[in-house]
Each structure stands twice: as structure tokens, then as C-alpha cells.
Chains A and B, each alone.
Chain A
């Protein structure tokens, strides 16, 4: 794995704001600016702004684009229309997940948004399955910045900065082209936090202009810059998967609790046969775990029920909203029953354990949703 990391367009701004920078997915990214706790609570109570420009964006064009994408991903893209987006995974023939992604439909093209850490692999994967002239891929990642404004005040902060579009009218998982702070952007009502909010896709060279305008407007309302640390604690509370932890090439979407993005009846797609077989008897189940302590269960820690091993933690952290540890895990069939009491081996060398209860996901739902 290469140690080379690139700077994101807003690198200087993050440093000026005092961010601790860490390598992530091939980029130097802000982990936190003040504290993960402050940033997390800001997003839940007011708003936070995230630079997620490290994500990859690939435009897919041509008369064969829909058919190509339908064979590539598990979800049914016939549900899309211009101005809508959906979440899906793309799988190998054995059903293992190559990546989770968003697919946007626009008037002229589709936009596929992929994880930064998977960028090169996903592009090679997508290119290898191109049918010919009738589909064209255009990797626009380097040319695109992506800022997410998330929280109950996101709309109040962005609406006065928007021209040519009524932000309040954009429904969840819908998107429109417009202008924010004078910058032409695609405005998407999506996010990775479980709060209301928007994701703005714009030209990389305008990233600073967008960021500064949003901070200027939002700062007095309590908007905080938020980094990868808070991004992870927020998405975990919202029960959202992280590729590389909860899902990877050794997991299939059904065993990972993502059966809802697998539409076996839509027609053939990569991995369909394997997923059809898995659907009848998934070998693993995915669970939410609520710890009865402030301690954290961490990836790879072993899960037990009545002293029998039943699975493993895939993601875990502290819930700043709920005040205790939360985790997600992969367990054997039977261990996913809600209310089940499990034990997490925290530090085997010290004989330290935590009690955990199987709970439904998400751990947190924003008020009114």
C-alpha cells in the first residue's frame, strides 16, 4: 500500500483552523479541529461543515450508461430519474462488496460517488466492465470538491447563500444544480450523519470560496468545522456502514444487513447468482450493540454469548449523544435476536469485558424523522 498522500484543496484552511491532519484514503484529511465531542454535538444541535473532497466522483455518459450501471450495481437504477440519487453497492461474482456508493441521475449523465480509499480499485473495476463505445467514464474526482453541511440549522445557513434554487424544496436523496456563494454546485440532500443537511459538489478551485462563505454565514449560528473523527461517531450513531470496517470484499450485502439495496428481481448484475443463494440462508447477521458502559468496543474484538464465540465487532465508538459505547458487529445466525445479551472481549490480556445488548439500528434518529 502506498504511503503517498495528497493534499486536499482546502489543506491550508484546515491547518489555519488548527486541524490535526491525518492520512486517509490517500489524502491528508482533518481528523478534528477542536474536539470530536464538540464537533459531534455541534452537528446534532446546530450544524457542522465537513470537507469530504477526498471522495471520488465518476461521470457515466452515453446511450448504454443505464444498462451498464444496472449490471454493475445491486440496487435497481430504474427507480432513478433526473434529480434523484440512490445508495447501492457493487459486488464481485461471489457477492463480496467492491464498494458502497451513491448514484446520481442528472439530465445528461449519471454521477457515481465512491470512497476515497477505493478510488483506484473502483475505477479499474468499472473500466474493465465497459461494454464499448456506448458508455464513457469520466473520472472527475480531482476536479471536484465536496462539502457537507449537516445539522438542524443546515438549511437556515445555506438558504440565504443559494441562488436559482429553493433548498427547502429539495427532498431527501434528491439533488439540483444551483449556485451557492456564487459557485455553481450540485446540491444534494444527502449526508452521512443522520441529520438533515446538504452535500455540495463544486469545482475544486472554488472550494475555499464556498467554505469561507458558509463559515461566515454559519459561524454566528454555531456552525463548527467538523473532521473525520466526528464524521465517524455521527455515522455510527446513524447506523451507517463504513467500507473497510463493516463491509469489504469478504462480506456480502445481505450478511451486512444491506439486503434492501439488493434487487434480485431487477435483472442480471455482477454477483446476482451468489447473492440469490446467500439470500436463502445468509451465513452472518449484522447487529447493533449498545454497551452498558462508557467504554468502547473496537473493530475485531470478539463477541460471546453465554461464553460461546458468536462473532466480531466491525465498528465501535462512543456515542456522545447517548452517553455510552455503541458498536456494530457481524454474528452467526441466531445471535442477532434483539434484546440478546452479549459479552465483548475488550482486553483479553487483562480479562476485561463489557456487556452489550443487541438493539435495532439506527442508534439515533433525528427528531421528527
Chain B
């Protein structure tokens, strides 16, 4: 597992990781990919889309089910992971790095209610999903 000190997590199992210069990557947690199973399709926002923290941004579909995605932070989408259209299984194989979903140019601070890795871990263990 890569080092997750700079990752912050939502209750809906997305993560946001600041990259410097006001940008951050967004993805889903290892717990989430494990619950979902084999990812086969992602419905992601287009470059230029403005997202609000907590709003629905798209969906991730696995063999098991389609699951909505919610933005961990507010910002403008500046890049979408180009590998996922042909190799969505990257989300399962490497959810914190190669399986990143999109890059945000952040607007404002990260929401205060985001959890660090340790807090998210406890939360995920007790999650009914």
C-alpha cells in the first residue's frame, strides 16, 4: 500500500490528494474497489466541468453494480485519466496511484469533514457496505 499521509477521504469512499499548485488528484479507496469488484466502466466528468464538494460527479460500474461517485472537493476538472477507458481494471489494481480518476484545480480549501487515512480505515471497517 502506498503511503497515504496526504490523502483525504470522504464517507462515500472517494479520496483527494493535493499535488501542489492548487491541484489535486481524485480516486476511490482500496476498500471501495474491493467492495465493487471488477470495474468495467467509468462515467466521469469532462475537462472543464465545475464540481461542488459532495455533489454527484458520475458513476463507477463493476460487474456487481453501478455506484455513484461524489466529489470530495470543489474545483474544475483539468484532466481525466486517459487509461481508464480501455483499462478500467487499473482502479482495482492500483486505486491510489495508476487508478486515479481525474485531476481537479481546487476552488477553496478541502472540506473540513474529510478523514485522514487512519480515520477512514476505522470508518471503512465499520461501514455496512
Contacts and interface: CB of A to CB of B under 8 A. Distances in A.
Interface residues of B, number: 10
Given A37-B89, A233-B63, 12 more contacts: A32-B37, A32-B38, A35-B89, A36-B37, A36-B38, A229-B37, A229-B63, A294-B40, A294-B41, A295-B40, A296-B61, A318-B38
Contacts of B92: 35
Interface of A: 32, 35-37, 229, 233, 293-296, 317-318, 346-347
Q: Name the prevailing secondary structure of the A interface residues.
A: mixed
Interface in B49-69: 61, 63, 66
A303 to B, nearest CB: 18
B66 A318 contact: no
Given A229-B63, A233-B63, A296-B61, A35 B40 contact: no
A274 B61 CA distance: 42
Which of B37, B38, B41, B92 is packed against the most chain A CB atoms within 10 Å? B38
A44 B70 CA distance: 36
B38 A35 contact: yes
Nearest to A295: B41
Contacts of A35: 37-38, 89, 92
A296 B38 CA distance: 12
Interface of B: 37-38, 40-41, 61, 63, 66, 88-89, 92
11 contacts: A35-B92, A37-B38, A229-B63, A295-B41, A295-B61, A296-B40, A296-B61, A318-B40, A318-B63, A346-B66, A347-B66
Contacts of A318: 38, 40-41, 63
A143 B40 CA distance: 39
Contact of A317 (B63, B66, B88, B89): B63
Which of B37, B40, B89 is packed against the most chain A CB atoms within 10 Å? B40
Contacts of A346: 66
Nearest to A31: B37
A258 to B, nearest CB: 26
A317 B62 CA distance: 9
Contacts of B88: 294
Contacts of A347: 66
Contacts of B38: 32, 35-37, 229, 318
B41 A293 contact: yes
A295 B37 CA distance: 15
Nearest to A232: B63
B91 to A, nearest CB: 11
Nearest to A296: B61
A296 B36 CA distance: 14
B38 to A, nearest CB: 5
Q: Which 4 A-B pairs have the closest CB atoms?
A: A294-B41, A318-B40, A36-B38, A37-B38
